[in-house]
Structure 1
Amino acid sequence: MEAKALQPTVIEKRKKLALPHSYTLIFIIIIAVALLTWIIPSGQFDRKEVTVDGSPRTVIVPGTFHTISKVGENGDLRQGLSGILSAPMAGVINAADVVAFVLIVGGAFGIILQTGAIDRGLIALARRMKNKGILVIPISMIIFSLGGSTFGMSEETIPLYAIFISLMFVLKFDSITAILILFLGTQIGYVGSTLNPFSVLIAQGVSGVEGNPQLWLRFIEWIVFTGVSIAFTMWYANRVRKDPRKSVVYKNDKENRERFIKADSGKDIAFSGRDKLILSGFVVALGLIVWGILSKGWYMTEIGAVFVGLGLYSGLVAKMNQKELAENFVKGCGEFVYAAVIIGLSRGILVLAENGMIIDTILNSLANMMEGLPKFAFTTIMLIAHNVITFFVPSSSGEAALTMPVMAPLAELVGINREAAVTAYQFGNGLTNLISPTGGVLLAGLAIARISFGQWIKLIMKLFPILWVISAVFAAISAYVGM
């Protein structure tokens, strides 16, 4: 009896293992990378300018790697306390365009959300869909995955997080389901890239592969990856709708619902003509952005301008005066500050690794390790190598320019077609960005939803091993089917 009486006390004292706050985690990684600059020899490949699809690119020259003294004409490459403390500031400066984009879009959304039109529109949509709300998941994820696979959609989804989080709450799901739809949707498109100019096409151009010879295989890969991701998201969303306590963000969402759903969905809320005008403007703005991205090459500056215009339009339709417009804009910026800062902090990790000149050393070591391996082992190790490199270079285009001049010739030396090297690269980069704390878009989405990185890892690691095994199999198939 005494043992039983003591048992609840013992259970109450048990502490759950939890990752630190996202800012803390990034700072820990900054310290770890700084230490690596003392341990890993500094080195560098020679570089040259090439033209890929009409755009200039700086790529490394294979066989030119040479070590560099830690202390010499390049200064002291060992990153100490000064480097650690300055990394956050250097990272924010380095990522200034993305940080500014997030803040400007956040301010515009502050105006749009304050009108209440989106809340009332989502509630009206949920009532109309009734029990068919689950269909939002596959339809949306197919669209976003296509965007990631064909034209590299990624940062463009940041303005949509607030909308999808609100929609998921109205449909009785949780906030992390919105992250799965938007981030997993676009990122799985990167994993299964078909025509992505920032991933596959750059890697093929740098590698000397012409005509996308395995496009048929890439379409199969995209279908499989997207299908598995949709199935996982629908399984999780259904599970949460049946029992909200099974949500990994159950406690967070109690507060989140108040932030994202201001209207009382239990009352008979009128969806007014003014609301329809605002939402129509929103749809037109999204259409304009898609057109601009596809036909005019728009990026963050142009997209930000569209959202500023949309915010002003929404405020005027809602009859806000100039003071209300300004205050709501500032309030919106405040809601997105957490996301903007975390993007800059994560970029500080890359700044430290570059200043310590250890990225080329890691790349050279991995390339040497893979020589002489059989095809399946080679593509698998290459996949792992890109998993590692992506942690330091999350940018798909940046990693392609850095690694493919070495990886593609190395693959050819061991009797593997260069397209298999491209495939291993796209899988490694896309998959690592699903779980890496150095990826700005993931951290921005989590920050907007007030979800910790640990909560995301707890969920996505149920899917990640499945995707990784599928990737290893497809990379091997790419090596065996030839060009």
Structure 2
Amino acid sequence: METGKKRLKWSLPHSYTLIFFIMILMAALTWIVPSGQFERQEVTVDGVTKSAIVPGTYHEVSKHGEGTDLRQGIPQILSAPMEGIINAVDVVAFVLVVGGAFGIILQTGAIDRGLLALARRLKSKGILVIPIAMVICSLGGSTFGMSEEIIPLYAIFISLMFALGFDSMTAILILFLGTQIGYVGSTTNPFSVLIAQGIAGVQGNPQLWLRFIEWIVFTGISIAFTMWYAHRVKKHPEKSVVFKNDLINRPLFLKEDTGEEIDFSLRDKLIISGFVVTLGLIVWGILTKGWYMTEIGALFFALGLFAGLVSRMNQREMAENFVKGCGEFVYAAVIIGLARGILVLAENGMIIDTILNYLSDLLKGLPNYAFTTIMLLVHNIITFFVPSSSGEAALTMPVLAPLGDLVGINREAIVTTYQFGNGLTNLISPTGGVLLAGLAIARINFGQWLKVIMKLFVVLWIIAAVFSAVSAIVGM
């Protein structure tokens, strides 16, 4: 007979299930929260055109009228996944095309042999990959808004981390945390700080010196955390939150290192060289030509064809490997669309503007020392409904920037609290597509991610609150 009781173990549901529960909650809110909207006008900043709200124009809208019912019920909940995927079709298509290309590239074995050779050469110095890669990712996020561009790199970095003796979570920390912390410490990011400054009426970038300090602090702390985590996992693999996952998934990303001599053929060198050239072209295109997912996806598709031809695959093998690669990335592609479905329900129920109006009213009359901290919390909430940095800037700056004037807070501090709130919330929000894509590719559930990131999130949030207050004190 058993003398003890089994300990109940609680865990978050499957990512798809979690998103569906949030959809139900969002639909319920459309019955409780009044519907309303602001009037809008087109605003163009640095070539980016967004629909910005007009302050003081909020008005409630009847939820139920002639031929209109804004309350989201069962039919709307069931159709939200489809509508979300349609709305996110560009990202979904990008992920599938990249996945198909990687299906061909990985089948050649060139990447496996290259990563194993790199791991052998680095040996105990493999942990140095973390600060180098994270600085690059953070710089990309801080300066030109690198985000979705890292999705093709998830599979490569997961394989590399396995080869170096780390876990799949380390790869997510390097790529996603790296780029997202760049968003938190934005310096010249056109999709974050610059568009927010433009809409808020801030001339130039008056606190760039402070933003650079913020970027150094946030990036340094994130690198230290990731290196600590990676070192701990390498020393005690069983302590990894994804230990059981990786036992199953490791063979899918990297072949076992048998210790035999690795023989690089000319074909391997050509394929790896093609991969490096492709990454170089992507960076050049983003910085000089304004390339985005269509152009990047086309380059990876071309790389897949190049790898297949160099490895002498016939047309059937290339097609079958492409389909297989798409299959491996379907989970990631679909979850991005499902997350967008949450926003579809909020938009169709017209409750986002109501929430924004309520939060702005809440901020009125607060003492200056509390204003920036509460503002940071406000942006944490808004980002859940509007994960897009440029979308949130267009939505909030026309209302909150003038509000700052009323309480004596400079508008640059308003921009700072916005970029901190948006960047930090996207570290833990289930509505962010890039995070969900990475977790899906690594086969990590959202609960495992939260278990790792939450302690760091709390530290970063406290530092962000301090920097927000400093931004208000130093003025413009």
Residues 129 and 301 from structure 1, CA distance in 2 versus in 1: closer, same or farther, beyond 3 angstroms?
same
- 2:407 alignment partner in structure 1: 414
Task: Give the secondary structure class of the aligned counterpart of 2:101.
Answer: helix
Question: What are the within-5 Å matches in structure 2 for residues 126-141 of structure 1?
Answer: 126-141=119-134
| Cα distance in structure 1, aligned partners of 2:18 and 2:260 | 42
Which 5+ residue runs of structure 1 have no aligned equivalent? none
- 1:327 alignment partner in structure 2: 320
Deviation, structure 1 residue 17: 1.3
- 2:445 alignment partner in structure 1: 452
Task: Give the secondary structure class of the aligned counterpart of 2:426.
Answer: helix
| Cα distance in structure 1, aligned partners of 2:438 and 2:100 | 16
| Cα distance in structure 1, aligned partners of 2:16 and 2:473 | 44
Which of 114, 131, 136 in structure 2 is aligned with 1:143?
Answer: 136
Deviation, structure 1 residue 61: 0.6
| Cα distance in structure 2, aligned partners of 1:262 and 1:123 | 9
Deviation, structure 1 residue 418: 0.3
The answer to whether residue 281 in structure 2 is matched with residue 288 in structure 1 is yes
- 2:219 alignment partner in structure 1: 226
- 2:36 alignment partner in structure 1: 43
* Alpha-carbon displacement from aligned partner over 1:90-135 (angstroms, at most 9, x marks no partner): 0000000000000000000000000110110001001111110000
- 2:397 alignment partner in structure 1: 404
* Alpha-carbon displacement from aligned partner over 1:52-105 (angstroms, at most 9, x marks no partner): 123332110111111111112571000001110000000000000000000000
The letter for the 2-side match of 1:480 is: I
Deviation, structure 1 residue 265: 4.1
Contact 2:43 2:49 (8 Å CA) reproduced: yes
| Cα distance in structure 2, aligned partners of 1:105 and 1:355 | 31
The letter for the 2-side match of 1:200 is: V
Which of 171, 174, 187 in structure 2 is aligned with 1:178?
Answer: 171
* Alpha-carbon displacement from aligned partner over 1:271-297 (angstroms, at most 9, x marks no partner): 222211110000000000000000000
Which 5+ residue runs of structure 2 have no aligned equivalent? none
The answer to whether residue 475 in structure 2 is matched with residue 482 in structure 1 is yes
Q: Under a length normalisation based on structure 2, what TM-score does the superposition of the two structures give?
A: 0.99
* Alpha-carbon displacement from aligned partner over 1:145-164 (angstroms, at most 9, x marks no partner): 00000000000000000000
| Cα distance in structure 1, aligned partners of 2:343 and 2:371 | 27
Which of 103, 115, 134 in structure 2 is aligned with 1:122?
Answer: 115
The letter for the 1-side match of 2:34 is: P
| Cα distance in structure 2, aligned partners of 1:180 and 1:367 | 34
Identity across matched positions, percent: 78
- 2:57 alignment partner in structure 1: 64
| Cα distance in structure 1, aligned partners of 2:39 and 2:67 | 15
The letter for the 2-side match of 1:279 is: I
Residues 266 and 257 from structure 1, CA distance in 2 versus in 1: closer, same or farther, beyond 3 angstroms?
farther
The answer to whether residue 427 in structure 2 is matched with residue 434 in structure 1 is yes
| Cα distance in structure 1, aligned partners of 2:293 and 2:160 | 25
Which of 254, 257, 273 in structure 1 is aligned with 2:266?
Answer: 273
Contact 1:119 1:263 (8 Å CA) reproduced: no
Which of 158, 164, 169 in structure 1 is aligned with 2:162?
Answer: 169
- 2:385 alignment partner in structure 1: 392
The answer to whether residue 87 in structure 2 is matched with residue 77 in structure 1 is no
| Cα distance in structure 1, aligned partners of 2:267 and 2:10 | 49
- 1:16 alignment partner in structure 2: 9
Contact 2:116 2:257 (8 Å CA) reproduced: no
Which of 418, 425, 428 in structure 2 is aligned with 1:425?
Answer: 418
Contact 1:293 1:299 (8 Å CA) reproduced: yes
Task: Give the secondary structure class of the aligned counterpart of 1:461.
Answer: helix
Deviation, structure 1 residue 267: 2.7
Deviation, structure 1 residue 226: 0.2
Deviation, structure 1 residue 264: 3.5
The answer to whether residue 304 in structure 2 is matched with residue 311 in structure 1 is yes
Contact 1:145 1:185 (8 Å CA) reproduced: yes
Contact 1:192 1:221 (8 Å CA) reproduced: yes
Aligned length: 476
Task: Give the secondary structure class of the aligned counterpart of 1:462.
Answer: helix
Task: Give the secondary structure class of the aligned counterpart of 2:41.
Answer: strand
Contact 1:116 1:263 (8 Å CA) reproduced: no
The answer to whether residue 248 in structure 2 is matched with residue 255 in structure 1 is yes
- How well do the aligned residues superpose, as a CA RMSD in angstroms? 1.1
| Cα distance in structure 1, aligned partners of 2:207 and 2:258 | 50
Deviation, structure 1 residue 14: 1.1
